């Protein structure tokens, strides 16, 4: 049996991430499904892996669908009843590489 390959995306939320992580995740998945359609949504097997800071999170996608996920983040303008904007900072095959990238940004992150 062939193991499914994944891609991890480091995403910044312009409005920040609310304290209720479960509600945020549910609303984000709903918006992604609207952008993709059910077929691509389920093929993508999206999952929020970690919330790093108040405005950063890492999301996992299947290798075949991660480019569509980047496009979906560009299309999402509202999350629930609030305005939202998402920026994909980097994609990688491992979470460790994304964290290393974020550490490398350090204080330069304020420029983003």
Buried b (16+ CB within 10 A) or exposed e, 94-105: ebeebbeebeee
Q: Given this model, what pLDDT does residue 108 score?
A: 56
Q: Given this model, what pLDDT does residue 35 score?
A: 81
Q: Given this model, what pLDDT does residue 110 score?
A: 55
Mean pLDDT split into 10-residue runs, the chain, 112 residues: 87 82 86 81 84 88 87 85 88 92 71 49
H-helix or E-strand containing 6? strand 6-13
Q: Given this model, what pLDDT does residue 95 score?
A: 92
How many CB atoms sit inside 10 A of residue 111's CB?
A: 6
Q: Given this model, what pLDDT does residue 44 score?
A: 79
Q: Given this model, what pLDDT does residue 96 score?
A: 92
**Measured on CA atoms in the order 45, 89, 11, 51, is the torsion positive or negative?**
positive
Q: Given this model, what pLDDT does residue 5 score?
A: 87
Q: Given this model, what pLDDT does residue 7 score?
A: 93
CATH code reported for the domain at 6-111: 3.30.70.3250
Q: Given this model, what pLDDT does residue 45 score?
A: 83
């Amino acid at each position: 049996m062939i193991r499914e390959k994944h891609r991890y995306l480091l995403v910044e939320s312009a409005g920040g991430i609310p304290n209720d992580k479960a509600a945020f995740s549910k609303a984000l998945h709903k918006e992604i499904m609207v952008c993709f359609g059910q077929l691509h949504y389920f093929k993508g097997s999206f999952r929020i892996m970690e919330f790093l800071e108040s405005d950063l999170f890492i999301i996992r996608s299947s290798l075949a669908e991660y480019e569509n996920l980047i496009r979906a983040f560009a299309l999402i303008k509202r999350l629930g009843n609030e305005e939202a904007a998402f920026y994909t900072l980097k994609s990688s095959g491992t979470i460790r590489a994304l964290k290393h990238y974020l550490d490398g940004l350090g204080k330069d992150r304020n420029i983003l």
